[in-house]
């Protein structure tokens, strides 16, 4: 019985060690997943913070775009008013004929924008360049003709000054718009990267949960087996005590029987050795 219990206890000890080993392995995996998840979450936060910085810079440059665009438009509006006045005086005094300088300027700007932004065939590109050159030449001749009149010359000079100022603001508009777009692209890229990293962090968290649940299950099994081992220990200890008591009782009976036999020999006058005498003394016969 005792041997059987001890064998079963050894079996449970082996199982407990295996459960403990598996629990520790899965806890280690859970810890690794948790660490990686936290690193990725930190990286996500850093990317979002960086994206917010880019957003702030983009908004700052967009604000400057609006400010400079407003100033540019105000100056162009004033210049348009002067060109309109020039055209009105030109017609009134019958100076020159055909389209106004303002109309020519607008067409030149339109064609130049088309040349810069559209993909054209070589033939169309050449035709467009020739047309722009013709309009500029026409603009130059008409301007020189109008400048023969001192009043118109002064108005044209003032209008041109306003145009030049507006052109400087337009350069700033383009410069700040380019910067705003640059930071917008950086912001979008950061948010996109943050989404990718966050998705990876979520995947690591799922793996962490599964690993932790597996470790918890092995721990439950470990505790269950540990309880079984403790129960076996109680039974084994009890059996050992019982066996010891029984052995001591048996030994005591045998010891007493041996002493009685020696005492009988003593009474019969047989010669006893030292060990026999000590036995009789310890047993209370002497």
Task: Report the C-alpha gap between 189 and 202 in whole angstroms.
Answer: 20
Q: Please tell me the predicted confidence (pLDDT) of residue 152.
A: 84
Q: Please tell me the predicted confidence (pLDDT) of residue 134.
A: 92
Q: Which of 241, 236, 282 is nearest to 258 (CA)?
A: 282
Residue ranges of the chain with pLDDT lower than 70? Answer: 1-2, 5, 93-98, 236, 239, 243, 245-255, 259, 262-263, 266, 272, 276-277, 279-286
Task: Report the C-alpha gap between 262 and 270 in whole angstroms.
Answer: 9
Task: Report the C-alpha gap between 184 and 59 in whole angstroms.
Answer: 9
Q: Please tell me the predicted confidence (pLDDT) of residue 279.
A: 62
Q: Please tell me the predicted confidence (pLDDT) of residue 195.
A: 97
Q: Please tell me the predicted confidence (pLDDT) of residue 220.
A: 96
Q: Would you kindly state where each structural domain of the chain is located, as residue ranges?
A: 41-197
Q: Which of 283, 220, 78, 267 is nearest to 275 (CA)?
A: 283
Q: Please tell me the predicted confidence (pLDDT) of residue 276.
A: 66
Q: Please tell me the predicted confidence (pLDDT) of residue 265.
A: 74
Q: Please tell me the predicted confidence (pLDDT) of residue 22.
A: 95
Q: Please tell me the predicted confidence (pLDDT) of residue 200.
A: 97
What single string gives the DSSP state of each residue in 59-121?
A: HHHHHHHHHHHHHHHHHHHHHHHHHHHHHHHHHHTT-S-SS-HHHHHHHHHHHHHHHHHS---
User: Any idea what DSSP says for residue 269?
Assistant: T
Task: Report the C-alpha gap between 187 and 169 in whole angstroms.
Answer: 26
Q: Please tell me the predicted confidence (pLDDT) of residue 100.
A: 78
């Amino acid at each position: 019985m005792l041997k059987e219990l001890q064998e079963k206890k050894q079996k449970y000890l082996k199982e407990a060690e295996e459960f403990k080993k598996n629990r520790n392995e899965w806890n280690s995996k859970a810890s690794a997943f948790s660490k990686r998840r936290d690193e990725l979450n930190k990286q996500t936060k850093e990317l979002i913070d960086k994206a917010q910085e880019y957003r702030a810079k983009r908004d700052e440059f967009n604000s400057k775009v609006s400010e400079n665009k407003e100033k540019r438009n105000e100056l162009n509006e004033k210049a348009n008013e002067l060109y309109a006045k020039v055209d009105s005086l030109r017609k009134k005094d019958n100076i020159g004929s055909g389209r106004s300088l303002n109309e020519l300027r607008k067409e030149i700007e339109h064609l130049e924008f088309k040349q810069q932004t559209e993909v054209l065939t070589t033939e169309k590109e050449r035709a467009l360049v020739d047309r722009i050159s013709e309009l500029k030449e026409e603009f130059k001749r008409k301007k020189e003709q109008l400048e023969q009149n001192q009043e118109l010359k002064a108005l044209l000079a003032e209008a041109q000054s306003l145009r030049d100022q507006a052109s400087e603001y337009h350069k700033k508009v383009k410069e700040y718009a380019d910067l705003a777009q640059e930071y917008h692209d950086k912001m979008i890229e950061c948010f996109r990267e943050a989404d990718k990293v966050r998705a990876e962090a979520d995947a690591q968290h799922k793996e962490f949960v599964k690993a932790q649940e597996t470790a918890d299950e092995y721990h439950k099994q470990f505790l269950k087996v540990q309880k079984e081992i403790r129960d076996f220990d109680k039974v084994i200890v009890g059996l050992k005590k019982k066996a010891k008591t029984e052995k001591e009782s048996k030994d005591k009976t045998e010891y007493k029987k041996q002493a009685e036999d020696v005492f009988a020999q003593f009474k019969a006058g047989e010669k006893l050795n030292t060990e026999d005498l000590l036995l009789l003394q310890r047993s209370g016969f002497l």
